[in-house]
Amino acid sequence: MEQQKTLLKLEKVRKIYKMGEVEVEALKPSSLEVYEGELLVILGPSGSGKSTLLNIMGGMDSPTEGAVWFGGEDLARASERRLTEYRRHQVGFVFQFYNLIPDLTALENVAIAAELSNTPLSPRKLLEQVGMNNKMDSFPSQLSGGEQQRVAIARAAAKNPKMLLCDEPTGSLDCETGRKILSLLLDVNRQYGTTVVIVTHNVAIRAMGRRIIRMSSGAIAEMTFNERPEPPERISW
């Protein structure tokens, strides 16, 4: 196997949420390396800690214990301001419910993200790539769920981030539309060398990952390698 460069290294990362007197250990001490340009699938049932792990990777949340190395920097000890900068420049987010700005057109939604970046990709070109050339001037309410998710992927990719973090990106979509979305994520991964992390409870999606992590009760229960990942078009659920 070729030598892979580490993009992000999580060391014994643990997360405890406190709700009054009650403590919830959302993530037990977990260690994980994420490599440059890989496509990683994180699988697990509801409540297993997937989103907690993803949020820590994306600098949206800080761990209670442990270190998150990005280059020579420990994000677990970074200031809020530095984390904002990290999210802005290094990470693109794709969520289950798209989170587009309702008052902006598809093109404007993508352009606003591109403006935050020092090395943006062309919003128009990206929207063409995701098959939205005819709907650039539509508002989110005029688009189907699958179309909104296409725009959301173009928006996340527009910053030209090192990493795309996708939380249940096909969660609200039917199988056929979901496959197309997965296919677009794979395109971004291949074309721009962007690391893509897909969090899902949908076990069918494991077939497209080269590396699959299974989470259970707040811990990484298993890591598997897939020598021959399936193209998303062949996945069904």
Ligand X SMILES: Nc1ncnc2c1ncn2[C@@H]1O[C@H](COP(=O)(O)OP(=O)(O)OP(=O)(O)O)[C@@H](O)[C@H]1O
Pick the closest to residue 31 from 2, 75, 69, 3 (CA basis).
69
CB of 183 to ligand X, least distance (A): 23
d(CA 57, CA 70): 10
96 near ligand X (CB under 6 A): no
| Comparison of 48 and 195: residue with beta carbon closer to ligand X | 48
Q: How far is CA 195 from the centre of its chain?
A: 9
24 near ligand X (CB under 6 A): yes
- List Cα–Cα distances, 199 to 7, 81, 100, in angstroms: 18, 26, 20
Strands (E), 168-233: 195-200, 211-216, 219-225
CB of 68 to ligand X, least distance (A): 16
Single out the segment in contact with ligand X by CB under 6 A; choices: 49-57, 67-75, 87-95, 145-153. 49-57
| Cβ atoms of residues 13 and 63 within 8 Å | yes
* Packing angle of the helix pair 175-192, 145-158 (nearest 10 deg): 10
- CA dihedral for 192, 123, 95, 77, sign (positive or negative): positive
CB of 21 to ligand X, least distance (A): 13
**Which of residues 30, 48, 90, 148 is near ligand X by CB under 6 A?**
48
CB of 192 to ligand X, least distance (A): 26
| Comparison of 155 and 214: residue with beta carbon closer to ligand X | 214
Single out the segment in contact with ligand X by CB under 6 A; choices: 46-54, 62-70, 157-165, 174-182. 46-54
**40 beta partners:** 197, 211
**Locus of tokens 């987010």:** 93
Interface with ligand X (CB under 6 A), residue total 13
52 near ligand X (CB under 6 A): yes
| Comparison of 50 and 206: residue with beta carbon closer to ligand X | 50
* Packing angle of the helix pair 106-115, 145-158 (nearest 10 deg): 20
50 near ligand X (CB under 6 A): yes
β 65-70/91-94 pair status: unpaired
**Which of residues 8, 38, 44, 151 is near ligand X by CB under 6 A?**
44
201 near ligand X (CB under 6 A): yes
| Comparison of 50 and 135: residue with beta carbon closer to ligand X | 50
Single out the segment in contact with ligand X by CB under 6 A; choices: 43-51, 73-81, 127-135, 147-155. 43-51
Catalog residues that contact ligand X under the rule CB under 6 A.
17, 19, 24, 26, 44, 46-52, 201
